[in-house]
A and B are shown apart, each in its own frame.
Chain A
C-alpha cells in the first residue's frame, strides 16, 4: 500500500493502517468513500497458468512421438518459465506463480503420479474448446512422493512470496470417473489430504516461501451444490489449511458467483475469487463475502485486452462495500490466449491496479 497519497487537494497520511484526514468534519463525509478506497489494499497475481509457446508445443509433440527427450522438454519449459516469472516480477506482482507449462491439464500431474489413479479419454473442460484427460479413481489414492517438484519450476520462483495453484478437491473428484467404492464427498476430502501432503513436501524440498494456496474451483459455481457437497468443500478447505498452515484462495470461474451464494462465505477460505466476466456486481455484493476478495477482472478467454476504466466501477463498489483487501487477478488460466495476448493481459492487470490506486475518486 502507498504510504502517502493525495486525493483532490487534500493530503492524507496513512500509517500502519491508520488514516488521518485533514478534511473539515463536513468534508470528511464527502470524501470518506475516497478514503476507504485508499485504505483498501490491492494485490495483483495470476489465478492460473500461462500459455505455451509454439516452440514448447513443438517439443512436446516430438516428445510424444519419441523424437525428443523429457530433458529437452524441461529445458524449453524452464527457459519459458523464467521469462514469464521475470515479467511477473517486473510488473510488480505481489505473488509469483509458476506458469504451469508442464501441466497438460489441472489434474494430470496427480492423475498420472498418484497410486490408485489412472487417466482415461478426453472430456470437455466445461464450456470451452479445451479438453482434459479424465482421471479414474480405481482405488483409494495415495501419493508416492513429491509430485509438485516435478511440475513446478521452483528454482525461478525466488525473491517474492509464491502462490501455488492446485485443483479444488471436489472439482477434481466430480470431473473424474470413480470406480473405487468411496462416495465423492469422502473422496474429495481424501484428495485434500493428499494435496496438503504434496504442498508440505514441496515446501520442504524447495524451501520456497509460499504465501497463498489457490484451489481452482469451477465446479463449485457450475450449478447449485448439494448440502453434502458444500460440507465436502468446507472440510477440504479445512484439511488443506490445517495441513499446510497456508492461507487459501478458493477461486471460482466460468460461472456466476451467485450460484454459490448462501454457503461460499462459510466455506472457510481466506479469499474467495470470482469471475467478473460472468458475475454481476449485485451478486458479489449480496454474496455475504466480506473483507477480502479476488476479482477475476482480466478475461482469460478473450483476446480483447481490458482497459482499466471498464472495471473501476466494480472495484470502487467493492471498496465502498468494505472489502479492504482486493486481489486483482485473471479469471482463470491464460492458456486460452496466445502468449502475446497473455503478456498484454498481465500488463493490463498492473494498469488496473495503478488506476484504482491512483485516480482516487
Chain B
C-alpha cells in the first residue's frame, strides 16, 4: 500500500486479446505479446496450446483471469482483481445462477446495445455461487490486495421483470402503491436470498474487500432511502470493507440518504464530466463538483472519484490525474479520504489503451502523493 491516494481497479476489462478467435495465429501472438509485457508466468504454455490447438475453453478463461490480474499489477495498482474475465455481463452472470429467474431475451439499452433480461417468476434464491471459484483463483494468484466486484441487489431488481411480486399485491391498492410494495419485497428477497449469502461465502473464503456495483441506483430516486436500509441489512455482521460503485448517475439523488449507509467507500464516475484543462480551479475540475455534496452531508466514507474516463481512448496525462486527485482532496478537506480509480470498468477500451490509462492513473497518484509527502 502506498499510503495516500490508494489506486484500485473498478471491475471489468475487455476480454483478453487471445480470446478473440482462439487457435488463430493472431491469438497465439497476442498471448505471447501480453504474456511478456505483463510478465505472466508460464505464458509460453498458453502460447503453445493456442498454436497446437490443445487448449480448452475452461483453461483459456483461467489464463484470461491470470492475465487480468497481472494486467493490473503490471500497471502498478494497489488493489486488483481479474478484470471479470470469466463473466459474460455483470447482470447475466449472477442471474443465471438464481432460482426463479427466467431469461426472456435481449432488450435495448441504447441504440444497438442490448442485454439479456430475466423475469423473476418466484422467490429468487441463489442456486450456485457466481463468484466464489473466481475469487479463490484470484486470491491464489494475486500479489496485491484483492477486491471482489459483486452486482448489487438494486440493479438486479431494476434490470429484471417482476412477474411474481406485483401479481400478489392487493388489487385494492393504487397502482403506484402496488408497485412500491412489490419492489420492496423483491429487493428484500434479493438481499436475503441472493446477495447476502454470496457475501458471507466470499468473506468466509477470505475476501476482505468487496465492491457492490449498483449502476441502477439513482434510476428511481424515491427508492434510494429504501436501498440504504436494504444495503445496511445486507452487510450487517459481515466483516469486510465495502465499496459502493455507482456510475453515470445524477449523484445528487443519493443525498441525504447515503449518510446513513454502512459503507466504507463510494466509487463514482467524474472524469467523464470533467474538462481536460490542467489545474485545480473549480472551472477546470467541474466534473468533481459533486464531491461538495459528500462534504456538506458529512459523509464518513472515503470517496473514489474516477480520474480516468473509460469512454475515450484519450490517455489522461499523469498531471491531469494528479490535479483531479488534488482537487478532490481539497474539496473533501482530507487527502486520506480520496482513492484513485477509473470512472468505471475499462471493458469498453482495448487492452493497449486500457493499460496506458491505468499506468497514467498510477503515475498521477504518485504525483499527487508527492504534494503531501514530498516523496
Spell out A's residues near B (CB within 8 Å).
51-52, 54, 57, 60-61, 64, 104-105, 122, 124, 127-133, 256, 276-280, 302-304, 335-341
Contact = CB atoms under 8 A, between A and B. Distances in A.
B236 interface: no
B108 A128 contact: no
10 contacts: A51-B107, A57-B114, A122-B248, A127-B219, A133-B111, A279-B175, A280-B175, A338-B105, A338-B107, A341-B105
Contacts of B109: 129-131
B114 A337 contact: no
A122 B110 CA distance: 8
B108 A51 contact: yes
Given A129-B159, A338-B106, A57 B220 contact: no
Given A57-B106, A276-B175, A278-B175, A302 B159 contact: no
A223 to B, nearest CB: 12
A61 B114 CA distance: 10
A340 B159 CA distance: 18
Interface stretch (B62-70, B143-151, B160-168, B258-266): B160-168
Given A129-B216, A338-B117, A277 B175 contact: yes
A124 B112 CA distance: 15
A52 B108 CA distance: 8
Given A131-B109, A338-B107, A278 B216 contact: no
Decide if the interface of chain A is mainly helix, strand, loop or mixed: loop
Closest 10 CB pairs of A and B: A338-B105, A60-B112, A303-B161, A131-B110, A304-B163, A280-B174, A303-B119, A61-B112, A104-B111, A127-B220
Given A124-B219, A302-B162, A304-B163, A57 B112 contact: yes
Nearest to A129: B159
Nearest to B103: A338
Contacts of B111: 60, 64, 104, 133
Interface of B: 104-112, 114, 117, 119, 158-159, 161-163, 166-167, 174-176, 179, 216, 219-220, 248
A304 B175 contact: no
Contacts of B216: 129
B175 A303 contact: no
Contact of B219 (A60, A122, A128, A280): A128
A317 to B, nearest CB: 14
Contacts of A129: 109, 158-159, 216, 219
A130 B219 contact: no
Nearest to A340: B105
Contacts of A337: 104, 107, 161
Nearest to B158: A129
B258 to A, nearest CB: 19
A302 B163 CA distance: 8
Nearest to B176: A278
Contacts of B219: 124, 127-129
A39 B11 CA distance: 61
Given A54-B105, A130-B110, 10 more contacts: A57-B114, A122-B248, A128-B219, A129-B219, A133-B111, A279-B175, A304-B166, A304-B167, A338-B105, A341-B105
Contacts of A278: 175-176, 179
B164 to A, nearest CB: 9
A57 B107 CA distance: 10
Contact of B105 (A61, A128, A339): A339
B100 to A, nearest CB: 13
Contacts of B117: 303, 338
Contacts of B179: 277-278
Given A276-B175, A304-B163, A130 B108 contact: yes
A201 to B, nearest CB: 26
Contacts of B163: 302-304
Nearest to A132: B110
Contacts of B166: 302, 304
A242 to B, nearest CB: 35
